[in-house]
Structures are given as structure tokens and as C-alpha cells.
Amino acid sequence: MASCDRRSTFGRRDFAVLTLLVRLGLRAGEVASLRLDDIDWRMGELVVSGKGPKRERLPLPCDVGEAIAAWLERGRPRCAAREVFTRVRAPHCGLSSAGISAIVASACKRAGLERVYAHRLRHTAATEMLRAGAGLEEIGQVLRHESLLTTAIYAKVDRIALRALARPWPGADGGTSR
């Protein structure tokens, strides 16, 4: 995210896209399909069009709202497109899922990191929520999973942190308690 020059139009757009992906764990297609009418600034919510016909309301954290607002106010070209994220250069149409993933890959390249795409940031969001103390049920709600098993796959467990919390297995004292 630090590789985005937020003084530039491209940088403001890319930073807003990355912020949505990292903070809310959105899919590339969900970011691409986000429309201007999907943001309720007064309520601090946004409507996400998920897989299939699902449309769900999510809270709009302050930092995410600020990043989107900076793009809309000082970056997004004036155009008829209703998508939040558009091409900077003409034609000013909405970005595709591939375009969202390309933003992630470009940010990695600028930062000198291994190339990853948008979906990896969904895993990152889940892992960061887990590290911050959120439970799998809470993380599953944010990621809009139907199964906790799916959430567990996304939230990469920090084994070192778990070792500190884990209790010894009964009878695992080296065999001395017979």
C-alpha cells in the first residue's frame, strides 16, 4: 500500500482499491462491481454484490471511506460510468476483476515484493482479523462465508501465537504419570 503515490490520480485509485481488499477482504469482482449508489455515506455502509445474486451491507470503516473519498473527489475522471473504480485514461469505463488484480500485482512490483493478486489479500484480511483477536465466526461474517471451514482456510493460523495459548495434552508429561 505504501507503494501508491497518493498525490497522483493512479495512486489514489490504487490505494483505495488496495484498502478495500485488505481491510474488508472483498473479492476482486466485488470491488469491480462496486457502484456509486452502493455507498451510503450517512450510514457508514456499503452494499457488496457477492457471489450470485447476494447483496450484503458491510460497515464502511473510516480509513476505507477516506481512501474512496480521496479517489472520488481528487482522482476519478468525470464520466457516465456508475462504477466507483474506473480507468484513469479514456475510455473511462469501470475496471474489471482482472483490472483490480492487476492493480495488486503492480503494487507488489513497485514495492519489490513477490507478485500476488487480489485474492491473496482476502487471506491477508482474514489473518489480520484473527491476529487482532476476532473469532472465526466474526471473520466469516465479514468475508460472507456460509461455512466456518471455509473461513478457517482463509484465516491462516499463527502457530507460534497458538502455542502460547495451547494447554499441554493430558498425560503428555513424558510418560511419568502412569
- Determine whether 92 is an active site residue: no
Question: Coil, helix or strand for 62?
Answer: helix
- Determine whether 51 is an active site residue: yes
Q: Name, in order, each residue with C-beta under 8 angstroms of 54's C-beta and a sequence gap of 6 or more.
A: 144
Q: Which of 6, 13, 23, 145 is catalytic?
A: 145
Containing H/E element for 47?
A: strand 45-49
Q: How far apart are CA 29 and CA 51, in angstroms?
A: 9
Q: Which of 7, 51, 89, 178 is catalytic?
A: 51
- Determine whether 167 is an active site residue: no
- Determine whether 27 is an active site residue: yes
Q: Which of 119, 120, 123, 144 is catalytic?
A: 119
DSSP secondary structure string for all residues of 109-165 = HHHTPPP--HHHHHHHHHHHHHHTT--HHHHHHHHT-S-HHHHHHHS---HHHHHHH
- The whole-angstrom distance between residue 56's C-alpha and the CA centroid of its chain comes to 15
Q: Which of 6, 12, 13, 154 is catalytic?
A: 154
Q: Which of 12, 23, 27, 76 is catalytic?
A: 27
CA distances from 102 to 8, 18, 61, 116, 117 (A): 18, 11, 24, 9, 7
- Determine whether 122 is an active site residue: yes
- Determine whether 119 is an active site residue: yes
Question: Coil, helix or strand for 48?
Answer: strand
**Active site positions, annotated:** 27, 51, 119, 122, 145, 154
